[in-house]
Amino acid sequence: MSASGAEGQALHAVPEVATEKQTIAQAVRDAMLEEMERDERVIVLGEDVGVDGGVFRATDGLIERFGAERVIDTPLAESAIIGMSVGLAATGFRPIAEIQFMGFVYPAINQLFAHAARMRNRTRGTLSCPMVVRMPYGGGIHPPEHHSESYEALFLNTPGFKVVVPSNPYDAKGLLISAIRDDDPVLFMEPKRVYRAFREAVPAEAYTVPLGRAAVAREGTDVTLIAWGAMVRVCLDASEVLAREDINAEVVDLRTLNPLDRETIISSVVKTGRAVVVHEAPRTGGFGAEISAQIHEHAMLQLEAPVQRVAGFDVVFPLAHNEKLYLPSRDRIVKAVEKVLAF
């Protein structure tokens, strides 16, 4: 049984530089701050991001440092926020747009799907959209529906986006810096449930975590748990429970959903022979289905059991008292693992 990652830490090697214990929210803020210092084309826009500092405090202090020309309070108008970002991005800026909750993005879907995602393709690369859309997503903080949803699958079925979901402060900063420097539109989903749940050593300076590379958050030999964002910690919790039963789970933190690091997934599944995919979004048509399909396509003969999914249910995100039932829990993951082991 591996002891690595026992405390829920990712296996990234923190370089020997000055570090600070930070939350995900702070790491996100610092990533933007450092990129704005480095590159004057980087600007931030969204609802309440300026004077207020963001409803989750992710843009705290930016307007004081960079002024209202670069940290722009917008009207409550998501379609305009994203549409303007497309225009800004195509003409020399690197906008970081904040959508206050992922469930507020729907008015902007037209701008995202019809414009941002297609700019590069329809101009044969003459124009691109170097923009980041930051969206706090997911459940765990109790408000209804739009404030708790997790609809990454919509964007993964739309070619033209990169989709990034950090699970910890170190990755949050490094991935966001990579996203800002990327020349294409990146949807950056922030797991609001763990915005402040824990702190981790984060280098004080800028660094990148490459897009498209998963991390093995815990090494194991018996089963592969595949997750992203807030569900990574739930998987790590579940693997501690499983370890007490002498079941040694490997946890793969995808970090980027598109492009997908298939190699890391497949090599882990080839090693363990069993896989469980965990996500908050509804089960049907969720990204777990795609991962399961790819495992079957590429590692069918190494599989000891069909891939299982632990996901949200096919219902609207429920009110607070049912949230625990809806969200994948440690126990549901443990049960799914027991099922693939018993196959």
Partner 1 sequence: MDLPHLYRQMLRARAYELAVEDLWNHGFISGEMHLGTGEEAVAAGVVTQLGDGDGLALTHRCSPALVVRGVPLAPMLRELLGAEDGLCGGRGGHMHLFSKEHLAATSGIVGASLPTAAGFALANSRLRPGAIAVAFTGAGAMNQGMALETLNLAVAWRLPLVIICIDNGWAITTTSDSVTGGSLVERAQGFGMRAETVNGRDVRAVYKAAAKQIERARCGKGPSFLLATCPRLDGHFLGDPLIRMANKPIAEGKKVFGSVLSSVVSRGGGGLADRAGGVTQMMSVMAKARRSGTRERRGDPILAVYKTMNKHEAERDRIDAEVAAEIEAAVAEALADVGEGSDG
Nearest Cα to Cα of residue 182 among 174, 193, 171: 174
- Beta carbon of residue 139, minimum distance to partner 1 (angstroms, whole number): 10
Determine, following the binding rule CB under 8 A, whether residue 55 of this chain makes contact with partner 1. Answer: yes
Let me know if 147 is a catalytic residue: yes
Beta strands, E only, 223-274: 223-227, 249-253, 256-258
Report cis status (omega within 30 of 0) of the bond before 107. no
Determine, following the binding rule CB under 8 A, whether residue 75 of this chain makes contact with partner 1. Answer: yes
Please select the residue that binds partner 1; options are 79, 208, 248, 294, rule is CB under 8 A.
79
Task: Give the contacts of 289 (CB within 8 A, at least 6 positions apart).
Answer: 283, 309
Count other Cβ atoms within 10 Å, centred on residue 69: 8
Binding pattern to partner 1, positions 236-275, x when CB under 8 A?
A: ----------------------------------------
- Residue keyed to tokens 């990579």: 178
Determine, following the binding rule CB under 8 A, whether residue 104 of this chain makes contact with partner 1. Answer: yes
Considering beta carbons, is residue 143 or 212 the nearer one to partner 1?
A: 143
Q: Can you name the residues that pair with 13 across neighbouring β-strands?
A: none
Q: How far is CA 184 from the centre of its chain?
A: 17
Determine, following the binding rule CB under 8 A, whether residue 48 of this chain makes contact with partner 1. Answer: yes
Q: Are 310 and 327 in contact (CB under 8 A)?
A: no
Determine, following the binding rule CB under 8 A, whether residue 109 of this chain makes contact with partner 1. Answer: no
Determine, following the binding rule CB under 8 A, whether residue 76 of this chain makes contact with partner 1. Answer: yes
Please select the residue that binds partner 1; options are 80, 109, 156, 289, rule is CB under 8 A.
80
Helix (H) or strand (E) holding 208: none
Determine, following the binding rule CB under 8 A, whether residue 324 of this chain makes contact with partner 1. Answer: no
Which residues have a catalytic role annotated?
147
Residues that bind partner 1 (CB under 8 A): 47-48, 50-53, 55, 57, 60, 73-80, 100, 104, 106-107, 141-147, 316, 318-322
